[in-house]
Structure 1
């Protein structure tokens, strides 16, 4: 039996990424990402774009989310695994700092995991609901 903490199974790697993100543990998060990771936040999302390198992902996404939102969380509900592809059906919850409005929106995340590291990520989310929570 493989230990979850060291497993290279795609779903285990992705789960460790969610746990590290939730804990704010950037070192553990970086450990799940390939050096040349491509991380894409959906067009229309406030942080839209493709970011490369673990440092680029955390500085342009994770660190920015905490500036705009209180209690930002990605709740990973359902995993669908096909080889190196992991699709996670999830939810974002948070409260926007500027407006005080809550956010609760369903999302889908597509990860590609090779050699025990996330090499690609793509986010799918109803960006209108995110922007609504950000609008006064």
Structure 2
């Protein structure tokens, strides 16, 4: 049996990414990302854009979320796996630091995993619900 911590199975790699993110362990999160990763936050989302490299992803997404939100967490609950493709249905919860308004928003994430690393990520989320909690 393969150890979860070293498994290269796409769902296991993605699950390690969620666990590292929830723990605030950016080094462990970067370890799940390919050197040439393409990480796309949806148009309309506060951090919209495509970020490359593990450092680019954590600096432009995770660290910025931590600056603006208390307790930002992606709660993964359903995985659909097709070869290298992993689609995760999840929920974001957090409270905006400026307004104190909470969010509880359903999301879908599409990951492509090759060679035990995430090479591509795309986010799908109701951006209006996130923006409603933010300052005008």
Q: Same fold (TM over 0.5)?
A: yes
Q: Find the residue that maps to 2:123 and give its secondary structure.
A: strand
Equivalenced residue count is 136
1:125 aligns with 2:125: yes
Structure 1's unaligned 5+ residue stretches are none
CA drift at 1:26: 1.0
Match of 2:41 in 1: 41
CA drift at 1:64: 0.1
Match of 2:18 in 1: 18
Within-5 A mapping of 1:1-136: 1-135=1-135
Runs of 4 or more, structure 1, over 4 Å off, are none
Q: Find the residue that maps to 1:134 and give its secondary structure.
A: coil
CA drift at 1:135: 3.6
* Distance across 2 between alignment mates of 1:19 and 1:31: 12
Normalised to the residue count of structure 1, the TM-score between the two structures is 0.99
* Distance across 2 between alignment mates of 1:23 and 1:129: 24
Q: Find the residue that maps to 1:5 and give its secondary structure.
A: coil
* Distance across 1 between alignment mates of 2:97 and 2:50: 25
Q: Find the residue that maps to 2:8 and give its secondary structure.
A: coil
Normalised to the residue count of structure 2, the TM-score between the two structures is 0.99
* Distance across 2 between alignment mates of 1:97 and 1:82: 38
